[in-house]
Amino acid sequence: MSKVQLITFDLDDTFWDIGPVIINAEMTTRKWIEEKVGEIEWGTLESFLELRNKLAKNDESLNWDLGKLRREIFRVKLSPIISNSKELENLVNQAFDFFLNKRHEVVFYDGVIDALEALSKDYELGVLTNGNADIKRLGINKYFNFSISSADVKSNKPEEGHFKKALSNSKLLPQEVIHVGDHQINDVTGALNAGMHAVWFNKDAAEWAQNYNQPTTFSDWYNYQKIEELSI
């Protein structure tokens, strides 16, 4: 077995709990917008998801460019209220910037930073995310050699784009890479299909639901050494 030289990581739900972060970003941004233009009919979660799907159907890039998608949603909600196109675009961009700032107000799981600091001493580290979190904004970029988002590769994990670009960036063989993530399909299956090793972060004791053997698994970042077991 080739010696592992690179470890890549998912971000959302691997380093922090994304649910509360997005809910807070969504609600505080809506309040911020309404303070500018008055009350808006945001609709239900179901109608919100229907709008997302409708927009993505008309523009395929919205499936992987979350920033563009978020701006489009704001534009749809604000266009009946603001007729001046320049004012509309200005508020859309301001609202997105506000949302993005809130989206980065994450709380790292216990042990994450200690694990990154330790692992970065012995391995190259990278990020492979379907989201739009920025490791520079989060103050953890010093631990990583690169970060790849869906917008960078115009596709989402488990498709091969993230994994191929990681191999290209590092000039390594797939068997020299471990990918760590919480999602059984996007992270584990995607990495294994790319020929990499995979480690499953399973914080909530979920059942393994795939038709192949469960990979190396850990639930607590203080047990990050589980990742290194594959490199021995």
When pLDDT is averaged across residues 5-17 and rounded to a whole number, the result is 98
Give the pLDDT confidence of 174-190 residue by residue, as tens digits.
Answer: 999 999 999 999 999 99
Give the pLDDT confidence of 43-76 residue by residue, as tens digits.
Answer: 888 988 899 899 999 999 999 999 999 999 999 9
First to last CA, the chain: 9
pLDDT score recorded for residue 2: 67
Percent of the chain with pLDDT over 90: 92
Give the pLDDT confidence of 74-106 residue by residue, as tens digits.
Answer: 999 999 999 999 999 999 999 999 999 999 999
When pLDDT is averaged across residues 157-173 and rounded to a whole number, the result is 97
Give the pLDDT confidence of 129-142 residue by residue, as tens digits.
Answer: 999 999 999 999 99
Report how far residue 61's alpha carbon sits from residue 65's, in angstroms, rounded to the nearest whole number.
6
Rounded to 5 degrees, φ, ψ at 22 are: -70, -40
Percent of the chain with pLDDT over 70: 98
Q: What's the pTM value of the predicted model, to 2 decimals?
A: 0.94
Cβ neighbours of residue 168 closer than 8 Å, sequence gap 6 or more: none
Report how far residue 196's alpha carbon sits from residue 7's, in angstroms, rounded to the nearest whole number.
10
- Nearest Cα neighbor of 186 from 156, 218, 216 is 156
Residue 231 pLDDT > 80:
no
Q: Domains (ranges, CATH) in the chain?
A: 6-16+108-231 (3.40.50.1000), 19-103 (1.20.120.1600)
Rounded to 5 degrees, φ, ψ at 67 are: -65, -45
